[in-house]
Amino acid sequence: MPAIAKVTKEMIKDAAFEIAKEMGADSINARTVSQKLGCSTQPVLYHFKTIEDVRMAAHKKASEFHLNYVTNISGKYERPMLEVGMRHIQFAVEETNLFRFLFHSNYYTGVSLSDWLKGENFDSLFPILKRQAKADDRQAYSIFSQIFLVTHGIASLLANSAMVYDEAYCKKTLSNAYYGAMYLIKEDGLL
């Protein structure tokens, strides 16, 4: 008789991530995860104390997936920062359930916008922005935070079906935010 495949913690996390991606995070429970894995609920509750722990693990995997998605620069847009912004917006359109799980749930807590923007996830972006904008650290952070707020606003509207995706409009809006922030730094020194 063949050995029974062992259900690992990683397999449970992957299954919960797939459920969040396909059906939304509210659908993550011991029954749906076990169905996805073709097992009983026992391994799920053995590896994780609570279903909330499973959701937290899925959220972490979704966050890593999002970071890889938005920083996968292909050169499609003339500026890397514009591409990162457009990728965040496209993520909201293409991965709506994950976007909502990441940014419209109570699982993203304890980190302020400032901490998040200054976090190690974006360390590689700041040198690019500083070079493009010919800006110092403070100015680059200010430009980035303004662009992020516009980008995330558009992405949130799209994820909640409050607007229709129009690539040209989004690109123009992000470019306007970038050049507006640049103007304030260079001309008025207001940032």
| CA nearest to 96, candidates 160, 153, 151, 148 | 160
The string of DSSP codes covering 46-87 is: HH-SSHHHHHHHHHHHHHHHHHHHHT---S-SSSHHHHHHHH
pLDDT tens-digit map of 57-92: 999 999 899 989 988 888 888 888 889 899 999 999
Domain ranges of the chain: 1-70, 75-191
Q: In this predicted model, what pLDDT tens digit does every residue of 157-173 receive, in sequence order?
A: 999 999 999 999 999 99
Radius of gyration of the chain (CA): 20
Asked whether the predicted pLDDT for residue 4 surpasses 60, the reply is: no
Q: What CATH number does domain 1-70 carry, 1.20.120.420, 1.10.357.10, 1.20.1050.90, 3.30.70.1350?
A: 1.10.357.10
